[in-house]
Structure 1
Amino acid sequence: MINALDLIPGAIDRFGARVLEVPAGAWNDPTPCTEWSVRDLVNHLVGEHLWAPHILAGEPLEQVGDRYDGDLLGDDPAKAWEQAAQRSGKAWLDTDLSGNYRFSFGEAQLTTYADQMLVDLTVHEWDLARGIAQPGSLDPDAVELCLAYARANVKRWDGLGIIAPPIPTDSTDPVVQLLSLTGRAV
């Protein structure tokens, strides 16, 4: 059975391919994440992937502190992404997800963290593509797993401010369903 850990390396690569497509003048363009520009979106993912090795190694949040707050992209956003993605990708290889970790929201299984990371990569791949006006499709296996995770957690997300409220849809397309559940108008 396929799981998030199996799909994360490909999701990292696909998001990275989108980062390399960002035109020089598009870093301040809006994305479907209404409060984030293209730069903000990529900065968010860079931060997530700089954190991943620490979390997967079991380092407490307090030990990492605020070192990944603020602008992580500097003058070369693509290079910042590549460096974060390399570190994250290595950490996900051969990692043991059988344990738990104490996140800012409480304790959770590392398998849940992997699911969340896959959702973040997959949905934000779509956001980035739209932010730079590029067409694209999402990996069907990633969409299937992310959609199952979103369906199971959408009510829990309500009011947390981590995603926009779901947008009702009658579509049977799994991509549209996933994006709608995560507050994106397709």
Structure 2
Amino acid sequence: MAHNLSGYHRALDLFEGLLAGVPRDGWDAATPCPDWTARDIAGHLTGGQHTIRALAVGEPAPDVADPARFVTGDVLMAWRTARKECTAALTPDALERPVPMGALGELPLGSFLEGYILEPLVHAWDLAVATGQPSRLDPDLVHHAFATAQVIAPAWRAAGHIGPALPGPPGADEQSRLLAFLGRTAPA
């Protein structure tokens, strides 16, 4: 079965572009994620690449409880290395490997990655806001991520990963509605 990972790669490209734009002294900036800095956001998604690679090759997933440990030193280089290793592991056989997805049971890794847009997309926004970069997201990716968010938000809220949904501003675009749904307030 062929998997369409274009949205996944576009979301990672967007995140990487924002990582490249973080000023040298911007890694300690507070983000919309409580208690997380820009470095923590970068480490969270870098750790995610290590986790996806581990799933692809059938190894135990790394402990991602301390996200900053994945991006000591040169943050952008740590990200690019993890992304390159992850991409290399995504062979056709690996994409068919069943992986555990909590309440969803097992899914082929490729099917999971087709929907793995929400995480890098929303954290791209978090990083952009924290570091003063443009925070307009790709509308097509936002649409796809919003559909995913509506499915997984109850479990994420129950686990404390996101806050309660906020009311969207009147006449808000889909990006603002997605962010409000995830408990985030877009800066004015």
Root mean square deviation of aligned Cα: 2.5
1:32-77 superposed Cα distances (whole Å, 9 cap, x missing partner): 1121000111011110011111112333x3xx454x6641112111
Q: 1:105 to 1:29 in 2, by over 3 A?
A: farther
**TM score, norm. by length of structure 1:** 0.83
Displacement of 1:94: 4.3
Partner of 1:81: 79
Distance in 2 between residues matched to 1:22 and 1:45, nearest whole Å: 15
Displacement of 1:20: 0.8
1:139-183 superposed Cα distances (whole Å, 9 cap, x missing partner): 122111111111222223322112222212144411111111211
Partner of 1:40: 40
Greater Cα shift, 131-140 or 38-47: 131-140
Q: 1:171 to 1:87 in 2, by over 3 A?
A: farther
Displacement of 1:129: 0.3
In the comparison of the two structures, how many residue pairs are matched? 180
Partner of 2:27: 27
1:93-121 superposed Cα distances (whole Å, 9 cap, x missing partner): 64664553125778332356325631111
Greater Cα shift, 172-181 or 122-131: 172-181
Secondary structure at the aligned position of 1:158 is classed as helix
Question: Is 1:148 aligned to 2:123, yes or no?
Answer: no
Partner of 2:163: 164
Distance in 2 between residues matched to 1:10 and 1:93, nearest whole Å: 18
Unpaired runs of 5+ in structure 1?
Answer: none
1:11-46 superposed Cα distances (whole Å, 9 cap, x missing partner): 111111111111111110101112100011101111
The answer to which structure, 1 or 2, has the higher relative contact order (CA under 8 A, 6+ apart) is 1
Distance in 1 between residues matched to 2:36 and 2:121, nearest whole Å: 17
Unpaired runs of 5+ in structure 2?
Answer: none
Secondary structure at the aligned position of 1:101 is classed as strand
**TM score, norm. by length of structure 2:** 0.82
Distance in 2 between residues matched to 1:45 and 1:184, nearest whole Å: 18
Secondary structure at the aligned position of 2:100 is classed as strand
1:78-101 superposed Cα distances (whole Å, 9 cap, x missing partner): 110111121223334646645531
Alignment of 1:34-183 (within 5 A): 34-59=34-59, 61=60, 64-66=61-63, 70=66, 71-92=69-90, 94=92, 97-98=95-96, 100-102=98-100, 107-109=105-107, 110=109, 113-114=112-113, 117-169=116-168, 170-183=170-183
